[in-house]
Amino acid sequence: MSVRVIEAHCYERGIEFDPAEVPLELAELARGIVAQPAWDGRSLAQELYERWGAERRERCEVPGWCSAQDLITEPREREEIEAA
């Protein structure tokens, strides 16, 4: 595994990565990842990137309850505002 892949796995699990010292938890993680190839030819980093992108797009969407009509005042509302 490359250093970037290892670093991505560490970041995902909250492990601080130091290339000089490989903790036991990281070595076991690497063995498990190498033993189980990526599903559908996609790496874990790609899956995480796609998941984060989907979550970001979901957060940026306009809520279904919001309507342009809510932002525009009706003529009768304008008259009431001006009368007050």
For the chain, the domains span 3-83
- What's the predicted TM-score (pTM) here? 0.32
For the stretch 37-63, pLDDT in tens is: 655 666 777 888 889 989 988 888 877
Q: How far apart are CA 2 and CA 9, in angstroms?
A: 11
DSSP 3-state of 14: coil
7-11 own/partner pairs: CB under 8 Å, 24+ apart = 8/44, 8/45, 8/48, 9/33, 9/44
Between 61 and 29, residue with greater pLDDT? 61
